[in-house]
Amino acid sequence: MNYLAGNQSTPNRTGKEATSLEFCYHVAVSEETIQFKGALIREQNVVFAVVEVAPRVLDSGESATQQEREKYRPVFSDVPIVLAARGRDGRARFLGRPDIVRFLVGAGWSRIPWKQYRAKKKDRNPFRDWA
């Protein structure tokens, strides 16, 4: 089950994804490479990835969010992936494992060590030595 939360974390009672975001973020994906803004984080012996996506992705339903996560599997194959987006009002929202989402909500958007990633799609996990 995924957990979607904003700055003030409350689980969705139905177990489905919540809605209401705006703002667009561009992810460039080609046949050979993938380029995106993300972070690989190790906290309390848990390694996970956070990837910034367009807010509409979080509102698109379970199938669409799963497809979005699959885009990043060649890069982050062995770690949980949390999707993140910001609305026009600056509020952050995260979709992923509940324990990781709670941590990210508490930490805040500005404390995430964002980087621009570029990897070849055929790379299994170029960050495996770090994880």
2: which 2 tokens?
């995924």
CATH of span 17-120: 3.40.1350
Residue 68 corresponds to which amino acid?
A: E
What pLDDT sits at residue 5?
Answer: 52
Place of tokens 């599997």: 73
Regions of the chain short of the pLDDT cut 50: 1-3, 6-30, 128-131
Q: What is the pLDDT of residues 45-54, one digit of tens each?
A: 999 999 999 9
Q: Which tokens in the block code for residue 87?
A: 């609305």
| Cα radius of gyration (the chain) | 14
User: Which pLDDT belongs to residue 107?
Assistant: 94
Hey, what are 77's tokens? Answer: 């194959």
How far is it, in rounded angstroms, from Cα 34 to Cα 112?
A: 21
Res 1: pLDDT:
44
- pLDDT score of 74: 79
Residue 16's pLDDT is: 35
**pLDDT at position 25:** 40
